[in-house]
Structure 1
Amino acid sequence: MKRRREAEVVASEIRSAIEELSLLAVNLKTGGTAVGDVHDQTSAHVPLKPFISLCNLLIQVLDKIGPTMAVLRQDVHHNIQRLENFHESDPSKYWDVVEILKKEVNEGKAKKGHTCSKSFVWLTRSLDFILALLQLLAKDFGRNMEQAVEESYTITLKPWHGWISSAAYRVALKLVPDTQTLLNILKVKDEDDDMLKEEIQNLISLLTPVLEQNKDILRTYGLDKLKST
């Protein structure tokens, strides 16, 4: 019974993530900046509240995957807190993540220490990892989960991790649940594989353009090549 209640909570979080992504997608359509237009990303906007809500919702899904995601979850939590704290210093001015990036870049602080710029970099990369994992699962629900997580990590996070971070993830991979266990957690009552796949594909279609814009913004401000230890 407890497992089923947890599954229903996760499913509602997935749908909430779709709702938050819909808000961000509307911004892409109305903000006047085309995804991929690197030269015009200084006029792009990333509303902080919907973006943070999205990160919180997806990380709660990671919690249900199990302890293998603990390292990623901790990083995301700290990065969310950093952005939220900065936003609260002047909510009317820093409602937009891009405004925060501009301030730190202009002051020469973006790449020094624990900054909001770095937090945005790693939140975007973490979401990119989730996107890659969802894409692999949507293609084949029978795919080996450990292999899917490792492949997703290799193409999204590993290029930016130093040996310490990479070692932590290698250990975490040993705790990945099997694919069927994860699918059962993600399903709501009476939901079959086809319904779940459709929901995941909907999430993918909304998350992809949002992350593409984020990456363009990072390139514009020279933040896209940052690495960890």
Structure 2
Amino acid sequence: MEGTAFAPALEGMKNVKSEEGEMLSKPFLDVCKQLLPVIDQFGAAMALVEIEAKNADASSSCTNGLLWLTRAMDFIVELFRNLMVHADWSMSQLAMKLAPDRQKFMEVVGGTGDISSDIEKFCSTFRPLLEENHKFLASVGLDDLKAN
């Protein structure tokens, strides 16, 4: 792997906004998708952020999907930020008993790059995109939507 597991997402974030500064759906979704190999390294513990929609009712609308994807990504960003802030945390302290050993996880996602730097860059660059999603969702009255 060239660089860290975060490298594709960091590169993809450069294309998330149009020249006019508007969020572009496909590039945003691509960045989220590029994080799947990183999230997979947590094992079954991260199954809680997966959502599958197999019907076409109102709860599977694009806006609802954006809401839950944004919430899942909020969780992921906060998790990675906390991994950097609290270097002494073990994975079990994160309520992830099924997750791999912290050192092994960092080695696997670190690849040939500076994993701490890439996680910091990812969190600081991706957080504003999520905040923009929250503003949009609030503007249509959905940011405080609760699960059924």
TM-score band (shorter)? Answer: 0.7 to 0.9
Contact (CA 8 Å) 1:142, 1:179: kept in 2 or not?
no
Higher helix share: 1
State whether structure 2 residue 85 is matched by structure 1 residue 139: yes
Given the alignment, which residue of 134, 141, 148 partners 1:222? 141
| Structure 2 residues without counterparts, runs of 5 or longer | none
State whether structure 2 residue 101 is matched by structure 1 residue 178: yes
Contact (CA 8 Å) 2:43, 2:100: kept in 1 or not?
yes
Given the alignment, which residue of 53, 58, 61 partners 2:30? 53
Normalised by the length of structure 2, the TM-score is: 0.85
State whether structure 2 residue 68 is matched by structure 1 residue 122: yes
| Structure 1 residues without counterparts, runs of 5 or longer | 1-7, 32-44, 83-108, 151-172
- Give the Å deviation of 1:10: 8.8
| Structure 1 residue identity aligned to 2:37 | Q
Could you say if the C-alpha distance between residues 67 and 132 of structure 1 is closer, same or farther in structure 2, counting changes exceeding 3 Å? same
Partner of 1:202: 121
Question: Which has the bigger relative contact order, CA under 8 A and spacing at least 6?
Answer: 2
State whether structure 2 residue 133 is matched by structure 1 residue 187: no
Larger Rg: 1
CA RMSD of aligned residues (A): 2.6
* In structure 1, C-alpha distance between the alignment counterparts of 2:93 and 2:138, rounded to whole Å: 30
Structure 2 SS opposite 1:177: coil
Normalised by the length of structure 1, the TM-score is: 0.57
Contact (CA 8 Å) 1:23, 1:50: kept in 2 or not?
yes
1:140-167 Cα offsets, whole Å, 9 max, x none, are: 332122333x4xxxxxxxxxxxxxxxxx
Structure 2 SS opposite 1:217: helix
Q: State the aligned residue count.
A: 148
Contact (CA 8 Å) 1:16, 1:57: kept in 2 or not?
yes
Contact (CA 8 Å) 2:91, 2:97: kept in 1 or not?
no
| Structure 2 residue identity aligned to 1:56 | K
**Large movers: runs of 4+ above 4 Å:** none
